[in-house]
Amino acid sequence: MFIRRLPKFEYHTPASMAEALGLLKKYGLKARVIAGGTDLLLAMKKRAVAPEHLVNVKNIKTMKGISYNEKKGLKIGALVTLEELEGSALITEKAPALWDAVCVMASPQVRTLATIGGNLCSAVPSADTAPPLIAMGAEAVLSGPKGERTVLVEKLFKGPAQTKVARNEILTHIQIPKQPDRSSAAYLKLMRRAAMDLALVGVAAYVCLDKDEKTCKEVRIALGAVAPTPIRAPMAEQMLMGKEVTQALAEETGKVAGTVCSPITDVRASLGYRCDMVEVLTRRAVMEAFGRINGKKR
Ligand SMILES: Cc1cc2nc3c(=O)[nH]c(=O)nc-3n(C[C@H](O)[C@H](O)[C@H](O)COP(=O)(O)OP(=O)(O)OC[C@H]3O[C@@H](n4cnc5c(N)ncnc54)[C@H](O)[C@@H]3O)c2cc1C
C-alpha cells in the first residue's frame, strides 16, 4: 500500500493527567491520544485518520510501571511497552498468558515503542494482548472529565477499531485481579510466519481447579482474530465446568469453540481454516493452562 507523508498536526506533551484531559476537552474530536505511535502514525500516513492535535501521554508518570498487590493483583500502566512486559519477572510469574502474547508480537524494535494501552485502544480484532487479559478477568481503568471508571477488558470493544474509551478519556492502567491458587492461563497464536505477523487466530484459556485439584471450578476462553472484536466462548467454557480436564474433553471443548466464532475470509486465511485452527488452539491452550497449574512448563 502507498504510504504518504504525515499530514500536518499540532503536537502536545502534557506532564499530567489533568493537563492531558484538559487538552482533549479543548480540542474535542480534532485531538487524538498518542502513546508509542506504532498504530496511529501508520493510520495517519494512510489518511485513515487525520487528527489536527496529537496529545502525547508518554510523560504522565501515573500511567507507567508494573506493580503487584496481594489484594488487588497486578497493575499495568497503559504506557508499559511490550518490551517491558516481556522482560518483567512479575508478568512471567503472575500473568504467563500475557507474557506468551507479548513474546510473539511484532519485532523487538516495535516492542520498544508499542504500549499495552495502545494495543487495546487500537481495538483491532487480532490485538494479541486482548485474549489473555480477557481470560484473566482484567479490567481497564479510564480517566475522564467525570473522574475514573472501570470497564472489563471483555466489554471494552465495540467493533473493529472501536472501543468504549470516549474521545475525552484516557486509558490509565490495566488491573488483573489476583489469580486464585490452582489456576493458570495460556495464550497461543497462529501466524503465517514465525514472527512479525498478526494473528490468524489467537486463543487464551484460563483454568481454575477446585480443591480436589482435578475438577474445573472456573474456565474462561477468549478468542482473537475470529470475530469483529475479541470474544469469549462461553459454550466452550461450559464443556469444562465441573469436569476433570482430559485430552478428550479439551478436544470436545475445541470443537465447540470452533463453532462460536465468526471469522472472515481474507488474503491471510479462509473462514473455514480459521475455525479449524480455533479448535486446535483451544484444545492446546486448555491443556497448556491445565499443565501449568501442575507446574509443567512448555
Ligand atoms: C510492524 C508492526 C508489527 C505489529 N505486530 C503486531 C502484533 O503482532 N500483534 C498486535 O497485536 N499488534 C501488532 N502491531 C500493532 C501495534 O504495534 C500495537 O497495537 C501497539 O501495541 C500499539 O501501541 P502504541 O502505543 O504504539 O499505540 P498508538 O499507535 O500510540 O495508539 C493506537 C491507538 O490507541 C489510542 N491510544 C493509545 N494509548 C491510549 C491511551 N492510554 N488511552 C486512550 N487511547 C489511547 C490512540 O489514540 C490510537 O487510536 C504491529 C505494528 C507494527 C507497525
Which residue, judged by its Cα, is nearest atom 47 of ligand 1?
A: 33
Q: Quickly tell me which residue has 496511529 as its cell.
A: 40
Instruction: Report the sign of the C-alpha dihedral through residues 258, 261, 267, 270, in that order.
Output: positive
Q: What would the mean pLDDT of 29-50 be, rounded to a whole number? A: 96
Q: Ligand 1 pocket, 39 CB below 6 A?
A: yes
Q: Ligand 1 pocket, 84 CB below 6 A?
A: no
Angle between helices 247-260 and 271-293 (to 10 degrees): 140
Which residue, judged by its Cα, is nearest atom 2 of ligand 1?
A: 106
Residue 235 gets the label, from left (phi > 0), alpha (psi -120 to 50) or beta, of: alpha
Cβ proximity of 223 and 278 under 8 Å: yes
Ligand 1 atom nearest residue 129's Cα: 11
Whether pLDDT at 187 is above 90: yes
Ligand 1 atom nearest residue 34's Cα: 30
Helix H, strand E, coil C: the string for 267-283 is CCCCHHHHHHHHHHHHH
Q: Ligand 1 pocket, 281 CB below 6 A?
A: no
pTM for the whole structure? 0.96
Ligand 1 atom nearest residue 57's Cα: 41
Q: Which amino acid is at 297?
A: K
The per-residue pLDDT for range 65-113, each reduced to its tens digit, is: 999 999 999 999 999 999 999 999 999 999 999 999 999 999 999 999 9
